[in-house]
Amino acid sequence: MFTTPAERTAWRQRIFGPLDDAAFNAAALELFAWQFAHCKPFQLLAKAREVSPKQIKSWRDIPAVPQRLFKEATLYSHPIKTATTVFHTSGTTTGEPGKQHLRRIDLYNATCVEGAKRASVLNDTQALHFLAPSPLAAPNSSLSAMFEFWREGWGNDDSQFWVEKGHLQLERLRRQLEQTVDPVGVCGAAFSFVHWIDTFSQADPLVLPEKSWLLETGGFKGRSREIDKAEFYEALAYLFGVKPDRIWNEYGMCELSSQAYARGPQGMHRTPPWARVLVVDPSTDREVAVGEVGLVRWIDLANVDSVLAIQTLDQAVREKDGFYLIGRLSQADPRGCSLTAETFHRA
């Protein structure tokens, strides 16, 4: 499975197609069985937790791999030499990056674009501006790769990456945006937008054409400057001349292939149909009730090359059809876009 382009295309068509609960469950259990057989650390963890593919009937019972394990083991379900792409997490306090190995980039490409399209982030061909380095400059950044897929699929000729030689080109981007007459999308790590706020807080605000939008990803944990989300969106809306509900948050990580999106300062995150999030109580390992706080656990059917179930230390409030992301636990290693933006790698 998942070795030939045809097998991967078939899987993509399966998970992108109609996916009711039963179909999701069947696909998840099938993928778990395959990864259990081929990914040694996943198998070791499952066995230690006395879980095997033959025993479980629900995707909810698939043991989740702690995100940290990506820093300490190779979580890859194929022979390691077959990996064609390796994404790195941003550095942490320990300085050891987590690595996501992909046999082929095809599924990541497809899920990045399809997920953003279904979330209505990408609607029309337009100029897309990225406060990130290009994939050529940052080949191990999953964020840069995702932005490049967006540019290829939905960006017009004015689209551009605005990090050169490790430096954000904010002045140049601003001049470009001042002249734009068509709607644009400006995307980047949250901390890159903080640089924008710090740089242009005293300047006249831009007035981007109607239907323009912004997309920020990650948070500020671990950095000296953290901003309340409402305040952050208010400042961005003012400085770019867009409505706050035209600002998106993307919640993803290098260890996953899918992303969740939330719109506006009070937006709830939703996953695409082929990925689900459980908000779990770490003391019981069970899903919390609606309205309660727990830790985010991903089940991502597109994450075929490593593991589909990942336990994060990100806190969220469970809702009926989504979740409100709170942020990373204070005891966890600083990770994510604060460091991402500084180092221009993807978390």
Element (H, E) at 31: helix 21-38
Binding part of the chain for another protein, among 141-149, 181-189, 262-270, 327-335 by CB under 8 A, reads 327-335
| Residue 77 lies near another protein (rule: CB under 8 A) | no
Q: Binding to another protein (CB under 8 A): which residues in 27-46? A: 40-42, 44-45
Query: According to the binding rule CB under 8 A, does residue 49 interact with another protein?
Result: yes
Can you tell me which of 15, 121, 239, 295 binds another protein, judged by CB under 8 A?
Answer: 295
C-alpha angle 150-151-157 in degrees, rounded to nearest 5: 155
Give Cα separations from 280 to 149, 174, 185, 241, 290 (angstroms). 32, 42, 34, 38, 11
Among 117, 264, 329, 342, binds another protein (CB under 8 A): 329
Binder of another protein out of 8, 12, 68, 318 (CB under 8 A): 68
Residue 66 CA to residue 255 CA, distance in Å, equals 11
Taking the least distance from each CB to another protein, the nearer of 44 and 207 is 44
Q: Are 310 and 319 in contact (CB under 8 A)?
A: no
DSSP class per residue in 93-153: TT-PPPEEEES-SHHHHHHHHHHHHHTTS--S-BEEEEES--TTT-TT-HHHHHHHHHHHH
CB of 336 to another protein, least distance (A): 15
By CB under 8 A, name the one of 306, 315, 338, 340 that touches another protein.
315
Question: 218's torsion region: left (phi>0), alpha (psi -120 to 50) or beta?
Answer: left
Check residue 61 for interaction with another protein (CB under 8 A).
no
CB 69 to another protein: min, Å: 4
Minimum distance of another protein from residue 279's CB (angstroms) = 11
265-294 binders of another protein (CB under 8 A): 281-283, 285, 293-294
Q: Specify the stretch interacting with another protein by CB under 8 A; choose among 64-72, 104-112, 139-147, 166-174.
A: 64-72
Of the candidates 313, 345, 330, 329, the one whose C-alpha atom is nearest the C-alpha of residue 91 is 345
Which residue is associated with the tokens 């999030």? 277
73 near another protein, rule: CB under 8 A: yes
> Is residue 7 classed as helix, strand or coil in its secondary structure?
helix
* C-beta of 68 vs 78, nearer to another protein: 68
Query: CA separation (Å) from 236 to 35, 57, 150?
Result: 42, 46, 22
The smaller minimum CB distance to another protein, of residues 70 and 147, is found at 70
Q: If you compute the radius of gyration of the chain from its CA atoms, what whole number of angstroms results?
A: 20
Number of residues lying near another protein (CB under 8 A): 30
Selected from 313, 316, 337, 347, the binder of another protein by CB under 8 A is: 313
Shorter beta-carbon distance to another protein: residue 177 or 307: 307
Residue type, 172: R
DSSP state of 81: G
Q: Enumerate binding residues for another protein (CB under 8 A).
A: 40-42, 44-45, 48-49, 63-69, 72-73, 281-283, 285, 293-295, 311, 313, 315, 329-332
